C-alpha cells in the first residue's frame, strides 16, 4: 500500500485505530490538528504546522498522496473518522463544495466535543452556507476560513487566513492559523463572510493573470520581445511583483502548478454566481472565464494559472 518495504515503515510508525502514528520524540504538541485533503495546499499547510510543533494527522482519499507527510512527522490516517477522533481542530482543504460536504457528513459525528471544524476550500457563497448549516445540524463548532495564497505560501506558512464565524472560537484555532498564515483577517462573526471575501480577492487575481496573458500574447503577435513589457513596467505604478512573476513564467514556459487553470475556472464560476446574484454586470468575469476555458481546452487545465496565456 505504501510502495515501500513494510518493515521500513513499521520501524518508524505504529498503527493505532486505523492511523499510521509516528512517535514525536517526546516533544510537547501545542494542539492536535487534522488536515483533510493533502493536495498542493493541504500538504503545505500540514508541513507549516508541523514546523511549529503542532501534532498533525493527515488524510487523503488516495493514501499515497498523504504518505510523504509521514517523513515530516505527520500521522497518516487510513480513514477520515480515525483522522478526526482526537483532533482539537479539523482543517478541510478539499476541491469543492461537493467533496467538502461529503467528507463532513462522514467526519462530523466522529469529532470529539469541543473540537472546531475549519472549512478552508473555495466553496462560494452557497457552499459556505451549506457547510455551516451541516456543522450546526451536527452540533460541531465551525469556522469558514478560505485562504489566500498558492502552493509556495502554503509550504512557507505565509497564507492569508480569511476567517469568519463565532468570535469565541478564535483562541482555540489561532495557533494553527498562525502556523499556516502570515496573517489572519477576521472578517466577521457570520460564517460565510470569509468565503465572500475570498471571491472578491480571487476575482482580482483572475483579472490580473488574464491581463498578463493577453498583453504578452499581444506582444508576440506584434513581433515584440515579450521581456520588453516586463522591463517597461518594472518599478512603475502599473507594474507589480505579480506581473513580473507570471510574466517570467510565461516567457520561460514554466507552468508547474501553484494554482491550476482548472482551479481558477471552478472559482470563476463561483465568482460569476456571486456577481450575478448581486445584480452587477458579469461582462468582465465572462471574458476572464472564457480565456481560462480556452486555455483548458488547449490542454493546459492542470498547468499553473499563468497558462491562461494559451487562451489568447
Q: Give 107-159 pLDDT, tens digit per residue.
A: 999 999 999 999 999 999 999 999 999 999 999 999 999 999 999 999 999 99
pLDDT on residue 17: 40
Taking the C-alpha atoms of residue 221 and residue 147, their distance in angstroms, rounded to an integer, is 36
Percent of the chain with pLDDT over 90: 90
Cell of 121: 476550500
Residue 92's φ and ψ, nearest 5 degrees, are -105, 115
pLDDT tens, 224-256? 999 999 999 999 999 999 999 999 999 999 999
Taking the C-alpha atoms of residue 120 and residue 126, their distance in angstroms, rounded to an integer, is 14
Taking the C-alpha atoms of residue 30 and residue 202, their distance in angstroms, rounded to an integer, is 32
Residue with cell 515530516: 72
Maximum CA extent, the chain: 64
Where are any strands of DSSP class E within 60-107? 75-77, 89-92
Taking the C-alpha atoms of residue 225 and residue 236, their distance in angstroms, rounded to an integer, is 19
Phi-psi region of 37 (alpha: psi -120 to 50; beta: other; left: phi over 0): left
Q: Is residue 15's pLDDT more than 50?
A: no
Taking the C-alpha atoms of residue 101 and residue 129, their distance in angstroms, rounded to an integer, is 11
User: Which DSSP symbol is given to 37?
Assistant: -
Q: Are 264 and 307 in contact (CB under 8 A)?
A: no
Taking the C-alpha atoms of residue 45 and residue 310, their distance in angstroms, rounded to an integer, is 30
The total of other beta-carbon atoms located within 10 Å of residue 248's CB is: 14
23 vs 10, 56, 71, 74, CA distance in Å?
A: 11, 12, 11, 9
Q: Is residue 16's pLDDT more than 90?
A: no
Angle at Cα 287 formed by Cα 216 and Cα 218, nearest 5°? 20
pLDDT tens, 177-187? 999 999 999 99
Q: Are 305 and 259 in contact (CB under 8 A)?
A: yes
CATH class of 6-189: alpha beta
pLDDT on residue 124: 97
User: Which DSSP symbol is given to 252?
Assistant: T
pLDDT on residue 5: 36
Domain spans, the chain: 6-189, 197-311
pLDDT on residue 154: 97
Residue 78's φ and ψ, nearest 5 degrees, are -90, -15
- Which SS3 state, helix, strand or coil, does residue 181 take? strand
Q: Is residue 21's pLDDT more than 80?
A: no
Q: Is residue 87's pLDDT more than 60?
A: yes
pLDDT on residue 161: 98
Tell me what the mean pLDDT of segment 62-77 comes to. Answer: 95
Per-residue confidence band for 12, with pLDDT thresholds at 50, 70 and 90: very low
Taking the C-alpha atoms of residue 37 and residue 50, their distance in angstroms, rounded to an integer, is 16
Angle at Cα 54 formed by Cα 53 and Cα 59, nearest 5°? 130
Per-residue confidence band for 20, with pLDDT thresholds at 50, 70 and 90: very low
Candidates 217, 171, 204, 170; CA nearest to 189 is 170
Per-residue confidence band for 205, with pLDDT thresholds at 50, 70 and 90: very high
pLDDT on residue 31: 92
Per-residue confidence band for 24, with pLDDT thresholds at 50, 70 and 90: very low
pLDDT on residue 52: 95
pTM, to two decimals: 0.89
Please enumerate in sequence order all residues whose Cβ is within 8 A of that of 102, keeping only pairs 6 or more positions apart, or say none. Answer: none
pLDDT on residue 209: 98
Q: Is residue 55's pLDDT more than 70?
A: yes
Sequence-ordered alpha helix ranges (H) in the chain: 6-10, 40-51, 63-66, 80-84, 97-107, 124-138, 151-156, 170-180, 193-221, 227-233, 241-251, 261-277, 283-295
pLDDT on residue 273: 97
Tell me what the mean pLDDT of segment 162-166 comes to. Answer: 98
Q: Is residue 14's pLDDT more than 80?
A: no
Q: What is the mean pLDDT of the chain?
A: 92
CATH no., domain 197-311: 1.10.1040.10
Return the half-sphere exposure (C-beta side, CA atoms, 13 A cut-off) of residue 214.
Answer: 11
pLDDT tens, 253-289? 999 999 999 999 999 999 999 999 999 999 999 999 9
Amino acid at each position: 500500500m505504501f510502495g515501500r518495504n513494510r518493515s521500513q515503515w513499521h520501524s518508524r510508525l505504529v498503527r493505532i485505530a486505523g492511523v499510521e502514528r509516528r512517535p514525536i520524540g517526546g516533544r510537547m504538541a501545542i494542539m492536535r490538528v487534522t488536515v483533510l485533503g493533502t493536495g498542493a495546499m493541504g500538504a503545505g499547510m500540514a508541513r507549516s504546522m508541523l514546523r511549529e510543533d503542532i501534532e498533525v494527522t493527515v488524510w487523503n482519499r488516495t493514501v499515497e498522496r498523504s504518505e510523504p507527510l509521514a517523513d515530516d512527522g505527520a500521522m497518516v490516517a487510513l480513514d477520515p473518522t480515525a483522522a478526526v477522533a482526537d483532533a482539537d481542530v479539523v482543517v478541510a482543504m478539499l476541491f469543492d463544495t461537493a467533496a467538502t460536504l461529503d467528507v463532513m457528513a462522514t467526519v462530523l459525528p466522529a469529532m470529539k466535543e469541543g473540537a472546531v471544524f475549519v472549512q478552508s476550500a473555495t466553496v462560494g457563497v452557497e457552499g459556505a452556507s451549506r457547510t455551516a448549516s451541516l456543522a450546526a445540524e451536527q452540533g460541531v463548532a465551525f469556522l469558514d476560513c478560505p485562504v489566500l495564497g498558492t502552493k509556495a505560501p502554503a509550504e512557507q506558512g505565509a497564507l492569508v487566513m480569511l476567517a469568519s464565524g463565532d468570535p469565541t472560537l478564535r483562541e482555540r484555532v489561532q495557533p494553527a492559523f498562525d502556523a499556516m498564515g502570515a496573517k489572519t483577517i477576521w472578517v466577521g462573526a457570520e460564517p460565510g463572510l470569509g468565503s465572500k471575501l475570498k471571491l472578491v480577492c480571487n476575482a482580482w487575481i483572475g483579472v490580473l493573470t488574464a491581463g498578463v496573458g493577453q498583453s504578452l500574447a499581444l506582444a508576440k503577435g506584434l513581433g515584440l520581445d515579450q521581456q520588453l513589457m516586463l522591463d517597461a513596467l518594472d518599478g512603475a505604478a502599473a507594474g507589480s511583483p505579480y506581473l513580473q512573476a507570471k510574466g517570467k513564467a510565461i516567457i520561460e514556459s514554466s507552468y508547474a502548478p501553484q494554482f491550476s487553470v482548472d482551479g481558477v475556472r471552478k472559482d470563476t464560476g463561483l465568482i460569476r454566481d456571486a456577481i450575478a446574484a448581486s445584480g452587477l454586470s458579469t461582462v468582465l468575469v465572462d471574458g476572464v472565464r472564457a480565456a481560462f476555458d480556452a486555455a483548458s481546452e488547449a490542454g493546459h487545465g492542470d498547468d499553473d494559472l499563468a497558462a491562461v496565456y494559451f487562451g489568447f
